[in-house]
Structure formats: structure tokens, C-alpha cells
Amino acid sequence: MAPGVIPFTSAVVTDHTDGASTVRWSAPGAGSVTVYAEGEGEGEGEGEGEGGGEGRKEGEGGRVAKGEARDAVTLRSAEQDGRRWFRLVPDKGRSLRLADRSLGLASVPNFRDAGGYRTADGRWVAMGKLYRSASLDRLSAADRRTLRRLGIDPVLDLRTTGEARKQPDALGEGQRPRRLDVLGGGESLANTQPTSADHARTLLRDSYEDFVAAKTGRAAYRDLFAQAADPDGEAVLYHCTAGKDRTGWASAALLTALGVPRSTVVRDYLASNRYLTAYNRQARAQLPDAVEDAYEPLLGVRKTYLDASFARVDRDYGTFDRYLSSGLRLADDDLAALRDELLVGESEP
């Protein structure tokens, strides 16, 4: 195995409410895997931490566990501020740095890392580079500090002028998002009045086609790709209202351009249903009984909605690569810069 190849075919970190984290991985043929705990901004996690398995208490960084090529460990630690990062170091091949995808921000639903996925050629989308979320109009002071700590610059607001004026991002004094209006001043789904559930589903599918076909959508997503390839800070955050539709296509398009398989892209897209559970529960409670059924499809995401975007790509451009080159007008150098910024590891031979 070439030293630059990341041997992990799957790897994920799941934080628990009791302060523990479960790290799960699969790296066939890589030998044993050593797990290191890292803080935000740390490097290779050098330390003299003691190895161990399930339920071992971790120290202040350093080695915290060792397992087989396919394994899982649960690690417990004292309360700490900031994100909990882990580096998986195989006997053979390059290491992989991961954290839980959700940051669990109390004031912003659906705020999560858009990275941490494996590409078809064996590279990985780096974590800590791309973030996605719902509207930031209720961003708390504590969560503003988290955004600063993450090095997020810029914040890209995919909403309309009217939406942004009504519920402006609460980034703090002197801080403003860059607005990339996907709908071009058109009516957002949040302001529509479906007459039935079927009508709502049709509205959503039509909107997802417009993300691909409309001139304003193409311009907005082109700018988003450019910002992701060359951010002012350490990371980019993009959002709309609920962080599921305009933001959902943004993530789907980025991940596809980076080489992430469609099945993984769909799984990431559908995760909004889980992250928006509490948010949607509150939304349902505010709906009159007479219209709840009609509005229900607007509250979540379905594979058929995302399928509408990809189908429009196929219909208008033939291939996704041509959508990138002709629809978003991204040159080969633009895409190379995006991949250099966001991918880690070497392609499998």
C-alpha cells in the first residue's frame, strides 16, 4: 500500500450526550489502528497516551486506544470546551482525522460538517473545511464564538433578499454574510401556500430543478464553489432557511464534484430529517390542523426531491461533469483547486 493512500473504507465519530465518543472504522489490510485524541487546531496528535479498547478513559490528548483493522472504541473524558477530534493511524497507509459531523449548536438547527466522506477513488473529504446549516438569525453569543473558533470566513447566505431582511444572520457587530441568492428574488418555499401534500411535493421537485436550471441558481452555486476552493478563513459555512433544500443541493453538488459516490451523497442529504427533528416538531405545532397535511412535505427532505435536481442535470447537460463546466462554468483549474483544498490522501492505484 502506498504511504499516501488512506486505507479506511469507512470511519465515523459519534459523540454521546454523556460526554463519550464512539469511533468506528474499517481499514482492510491496514493492520492495527491506533486512535489519538486531538484538540481543535492540533497536528498529528503526538503523545504518550495509553492504548486500550472499549470504554477506556482518555487522557489529555495522545494515544487513547488501539484496535484491529475493523473495530470500534468508546472513549470517555472529562467535560471539555470545543470539538472532539480523533486521528486514526493505521500500521499501513496514511492517517485520517475525524470528529462528529454534528456540532450540536443550541441556537442553529442542522449545523454540521459537510466533510468526512470517502470518494470513489479512495480519498477523503477533509473535515473542518465545509460547514452547512439552517438560518443564523437566532445565533447565540456562545455559538458565535464557536463559529470564530472554527475559523469560518465567509458565511454564504443562499436566501433571498426578503428572507435575509426579515431574519438577518446574527453574526455580531461588523460581521456580514455574503449573499448568494439562489432564487434570484423569487418566492422561497417557506412562503408558499400548498393546497395539498401532492401540490407541496410538486413545488419542491420544481424548486430542485430550478436550483440546476435557473440562471440565478447557477450563478449562486458557481460562486459557492469558488469560495469553497479559496476561503478567506479556514472554512466556509453555507446556509439557507432550514439548511435542507438550497443548502442540500449545494452539498450534493460539492460532494459529487469531489468524487463522493451518489449513495453517500443521498445519505448525507437525507440526514437533514434527523438533524431537524426538534425544529420540525415546533413547526408542526404552529400549523393549523386544517393545513398540516398539506405542509408536511415542506418540512423534511425526500430522495425524490434530490433526484429531481440530478435528473435535470442529466436532461440539460447529459453528465454531471458537463453541468460543472457548462452550467456553472467551472474550468478544470477551478475544480483542481477545489479538490486540492478539500480532499486528503492519494488516489488508490
192: closest CA among 221, 165, 163? 163
* 40-49: Cβ within 8 A, 24+ apart: 40/82, 40/83, 40/85, 40/149, 40/150, 42/85, 44/87, 44/95, 45/87
Given the residues 134, 235, 240, 254, select the one marked as catalytic: 240
> CB–CB of 132/243 below 8 Å?
yes
Which residues on neighbouring strands pair with residue 97, listed in sequence order? 87
Rounded Cα distance between 10 and 26, Å, is 5
The neighbour count for residue 57, using CB atoms within 10 Å, is 12
Rounded Cα distance between 254 and 313, Å, is 14
Rounded Cα distance between 8 and 119, Å, is 11
C-alpha separations of 184 from 168, 181, 203, 285, 313 in Å: 17, 5, 17, 31, 20
DSSP code at position 184: T
Could you tell me whether strands 96-99 and 235-239 are parallel, antiparallel, or unpaired per DSSP bridges? Answer: unpaired
DSSP code at position 57: B
Cell numbers representing residue 304 in the block: 425524490
The DSSP element (H or E) to which 34 belongs, if any, is strand 33-38
Is 240 known to be catalytic? yes
Label each residue of 295-331 as H, E or C: HHHHHCCCHHHHHHHHHHHHHHHCCHHHHHHHHCCCC
* Residue 41 DSSP SS3: coil
> CB–CB of 234/129 below 8 Å?
yes
Active-site residue list: 240
